[in-house]
Structure 1
Amino acid sequence: MTSKILLENLKIYAYHGVLPEETIIGTYYILNVEVQANLWKAVGTDDLNDTINYAEINDIIHEEMKIPSKLMEHVAGRILKKISLKFPKVSFIKIKITKTNPPMPGEMDGVSVEIEFQS
């Protein structure tokens, strides 16, 4: 059995980007994270130890978003790595990071990077 835990539309202000002003001014990022694991035991036990603690995933995301990076890919990779190390029973992770106000001409909702990891 595979189950999913989804953190949806997590909005965090951060300072990532190649341009110097991006690391000074910052912008909002929207993150969507999907974690898959066999959580069947938690269905019966009602015990947090038998599942993936999504509050801890949220903490990992916030910690990594505080570290400025040039590339969203780099941030996503750090988040994926930390989640997989913290929760060995995770079999699949997908993360999508959207920069809501990229420094480019044109009106848009943002620019996104989506990376998947399967163990």
Structure 2
Amino acid sequence: MGKVQVENIKAYAYHGCLAEETRIGSDYLVNVTVEADLSKAALTDALKDTVDYVHINKIVKEEMAIPSKLLEHVAKRISDRIFVEIPMVLESSISVSKISPPINGDVEKVTISINSKRT
């Protein structure tokens, strides 16, 4: 087994429950960790035998572009697509952070995380 981590994917998106959030948008950071059997790739040195992190980045960018009220919903969509489009992934951990959330306080970010296993 092995892990592929794609860290701090930056996106500007329009998620939130407040009308202001969906109108003006905000900055987000997404972290993805997936687990898969990477032993074949270690031997073959072939991209087709591993988890392509370019593909993960593409999924994140596309899903972040679709507005949602909840970050949990966005993370679940990202996870679902990873399992559908990258069959060798066995587990995923997705975290989505909203930078400077509008919560009447000096808060750097809020983060949600979901962990999923292939069923």
Same fold (TM over 0.5): yes
Equivalence map 1:3-22=2 (5 Å): 3-22=2-21
Structure 1 residue runs without a partner (length 5+): none
Please tell me whether the aligned partners of residues 79 and 92 of structure 2 are also in contact (alpha carbons under 8 angstroms). yes
**Moved runs in structure 1, 4+ residues, more than 3 A?**
none
Q: Distance in 2 between matches of 1:84 and 1:105?
A: 37
1:14-62 CA deviation, whole Å, 9 max, x = no partner?
A: 0000001101111100111101100100001010110011101100000
Within 5 Å, which residues of 2 pair with 1:1-119?
Answer: 2-119=1-118
TM-score of the superposed pair, with normalisation by structure 2? 0.97
Q: Deviations over 1:68-89 (max 9, x none)?
A: 0000010001000000001121
Identical-pair percentage: 47
Q: How many residues align?
A: 118
Alpha-carbon distance in 1 for matches of 2:4, 2:108: 25
TM-score where L is the length of structure 1: 0.97
Q: Distance in 2 between matches of 1:105 and 1:21?
A: 14
Segments of 5+ residues of structure 2 without an aligned counterpart are none
**Post-superposition offset of 1:108:** 1.4
